[in-house]
Amino acid sequence: MSEAAFGSNFTNMTTKGILTFDQTYHYEEGEIQGLASSVITNLKTKPTDRSLIGQKVDFRISKEQFEMLIGLRSGGLPPVAKGKKWMDKVDLAVSLRDVLINEGIENNGIEPNKFHKLFTLGVHTYNYNYNIYGLDWKSKGVWRLGLLQKIKLPTSIDCLPVIEKLIISLLRVEETLHHIRKIHHEILIDKAKLYRARRTSSCALDYSVCEHGRITRTRRAKE
């Protein structure tokens, strides 16, 4: 097994073993396409711009087709170039943004303050680094991406106790996933109650026509 393959398999195995232990969430890994990204990419008006692949991810954890955690691995060992790490971080941010945009379109009509509570998580790994990000929606065209935890993986058997920080962080991520699932479930219930009352919206804001926002220093194709 190559060093690059080992680096990817090790981080994916650790994440899968902890976050999906009770089989509550659906885990997928490999060179897979983002569920929400494929939908958002094909919303363009020009027919020639449709049927696009969208953003690809290395693994994802989802529940009811909602991607609560997305992961990208930038190479393995030895470390990749800085440009590759930066572009993978941009791809991760775009994928997370597409997840919330897709949820806003599907559940259009609920109170904006309830949608403000929803957020999603992302994992970016490279070399011996394991970074956990979070993204939420603040207002029209404004998204907030923040680094929640920065973890250093063990580089040898002697440094193996260092992995305790990764395990504790993933256990906290698991608790956060339960919280995200609860928020998402409440949004689905609120959307269903609108149909019971024969209404399509509880407010005038339409998420389907809102600005997607722009992540700085990105290629035109990533916008």
What does the pLDDT read at residue 46?
A: 60
| Residue 132 confidence (pLDDT) | 94
Residue 217 has pLDDT above 60, yes or no: no
How far apart CA 189 and CA 110 sit, in angstroms, is: 10
Whole-number average pLDDT of the chain: 78
- Residues 116 and 110: their CA atoms lie apart, in Å, by 11
Q: Could you list the residue range(s) of the whole structural domain that residue 91 is in?
A: 3-222
Summarised one tens digit per residue, pLDDT across range 2-31 is 555 555 566 666 777 777 766 788 888 877
Domain count, the chain: 1
| Confidence class for position 179, pLDDT limits 50, 70, 90 | very high
**What pLDDT shows up at residue 211?**
47
Residue 14 one-letter amino acid = T
Please give the backbone phi and psi of residue 77, each rounded to the nearest 5 degrees, phi first.
-120, 130
